[in-house]
Amino acid sequence: MSLYIEDIGKKAKLASKDIQGLSVKKRNEILIMITEELADSVVFIQTANQLDVEKARENQLTEAMIDRLIMNGSRIESMINGLKKMEAFKDPLGASVQSWTHENNMVISQVTVPLGVVGMIYESRPNVTVDVSGLCIKSGNCVILRGGSEAIHTNKALVDVIRKAIEKCGINPNIVQLVTETDREHVKALLQMNAYVDVIIPRGGRGLKKAVIRDASVPVIETGEGLCHTYVDESANLEMALKIILNAKTQRTGVCNAMETLLVHESMAETLLPLVDEALDQKGFEVRGCNLSMPYLKHGIKASEEDWATEYLDAILSIKVVKNLDEGIEHINQYGSGHSEAIVTSNYDYAEKFLNQVDAACVYVNASTRFTDGDVFGFGGEVGISTQKLHARGPMGLEALTSKKYIIRGNGQIRN
């Protein structure tokens, strides 16, 4: 094992005792101190961020990926507001989930407790550094952060600010640590540090998730990949459909809740697809269509089988014409990543069938998939969007960072 990572793990395990003993008042005090330090450190953060953005341009990253990196004033303000929301939430710890009295008069209660030490592995978006740190502090967890090398300067600056705020509150700053060494061998070491880490949460694309699942011996909560679809039914309102499509794809392309594949009922293809094609071409987007859609796509190119399984995170949209709702659902369940899926329809029965049969964390009727977000859902931020079914699913807020234990109070009972 990497001695560097082992040292971080030991520090986190020791610090976990410190944070688990803090009152919610003290945890909230830390969050507010972080907001103040962030507000006072805008220039420091943006100077570091500029180094990452310049390097990204040198390495010819796509504009969508560069957009994920940028820390402008509004994004820093958004992070601050997210922390303020977290501070206002009720304490997620010590809540009684259920309680009952045994026939022998023992009182059995189930209460919420922290997960412990969270290992967070993520790509590109430095706002994750602040969101996850805040959520972990509020929920009484320690966190070991390992962001992508493309955001290393920004993440270092943000963690410096966070740790400074924690120290000002008189608390062990090792409740938040950043892996600053970018060697991937350190990641593998983190994934196998069962003695010190309680859970690993990867947040990124398919490649990252596969690598983490392959190498981890620490339990993993899968998040990140968003191969999202929008299906336009034969009864859909044309104006509504076009509005939702453009928002889901173009409002921000390099994020996991952006639409990657548009599915259109065959009866809607002739009227809808030329409008989509023209609107996306004007925005500089590339369209890849199936055989049935190509006659209606003036600017389209032929899609390959690989396109249906690709999360572009870029200005590219694949389009497929389907015969009916069943074919649309079948396509989604075959190629989707379990993140967010949407139907545009005026038919109540079709909407309910889509909601019930599509296998995803978030399923929408007549709304854009872009709403799948912890902050938008009212969590103040998110650790990620869980695409699995155990423990947590969908945007992971404070509750998802807790576990449960049973507390039994007796007065001398023994088992015969």
**74 touches 179 (CB < 8 A):** no
Report pTM.
0.84
Report the alpha-carbon angle 58-60-66, nearest 5.
95
Q: Is 336 helix (H, G, I), strand (E, B) or coil?
A: coil
Contact between 128 and 203 under an 8 Å Cβ cutoff? The reply is yes
Q: How far is CA 121 from CA 199, 202, 220, 256, in A?
A: 11, 5, 11, 15
Cα distance between residue 174 and residue 224, in whole Å: 26
How many C-beta atoms surround the C-beta of residue 49 within 10 A?
23
The backbone torsions φ and ψ at residue 75, rounded to the nearest 5 degrees and listed phi first, read -75, -35
Q: What is the pLDDT of residue 381?
A: 74
Burial 178-201 (b: 16+ CB within 10 A, else e): bbebeeeebbbbbbbbeebbbbbb
Residue 400 in contact with residue 227, Cβ under 8 Å? no
Residue-wise pLDDT tens for the chain (416 aa)?
A: 689 999 999 999 999 999 998 999 999 999 999 999 999 999 999 999 999 999 999 999 888 889 889 999 999 999 999 999 999 999 999 988 999 999 999 999 999 999 999 999 998 789 999 999 999 999 999 999 999 999 999 999 999 999 999 999 999 999 999 999 988 888 999 999 999 999 999 987 778 888 888 999 999 988 868 899 999 999 999 999 999 999 999 999 888 999 999 999 999 999 999 999 999 999 999 999 999 999 999 999 999 999 999 999 899 999 999 999 999 999 999 999 999 999 999 999 999 999 999 999 999 999 999 999 888 888 867 888 888 887 888 888 898 999 999 999 999 999 98
CA 184 from centroid of its chain's CA atoms: 22
Domain 3-223+383-409 matches domain 228-371 at the CATH topology level:
no
Give CATH superfamily name and number for 228-371.
Aldehyde Dehydrogenase; Chain A, domain 2 (3.40.309.10)
State the SS3 of 109-141.
Answer: EEEEEECCEEEEEECCCCHHHHHHHHHHHHCCC
What pLDDT was estimated at residue 346? 97
Beta-carbon contacts of residue 13 (< 8 Å; ≥ 6 apart): 117, 142, 195, 196
Delimit the domains of the chain by residue range: 3-223+383-409, 228-371
In the beta sheet, which residues pair with residue 409? 107
Distance CA 241, CA 308 (A): 21
pLDDT at position 63 is 85
Which candidate, 245, 234, 239, 301, places its Cα nearest to that of 269?
234
Q: Which residues contact 115 (CB under 8 A, 6 or more apart)?
A: 139, 141, 198, 199, 401, 402, 403
Class of residue 120 by CB neighbours under 10 A (exposed 0-12, middle 13-18, buried 19+):
buried
pLDDT, residue 115, reads 95
* H or E stretch at 405: strand 402-409
Which residue type occupies 412?
A: G
Q: Which residues pair with 343 in a beta bridge?
A: 231, 365
End-to-end CA, the chain: 47
**Residues in contact with 5: Cβ distance below 8 Å, sequence separation at least 6, in sequence order:** 179, 186, 189, 190, 193
Superfamily of domain 3-223+383-409: Aldehyde Dehydrogenase; Chain A, domain 1 (3.40.605.10)
191 CB-side CA count, 13 A: 20
Give pLDDT, residue 189.
93
Residue appearing with tokens 């922290």: 114
Hey, what are 283's tokens? 């925005």
Three-state SS for 34-65 is HHHHHHHCHHHHHHHHHHHHHHHHHCCCCHHH
The answer to whether 75 and 127 are in contact (CB under 8 A) is: yes
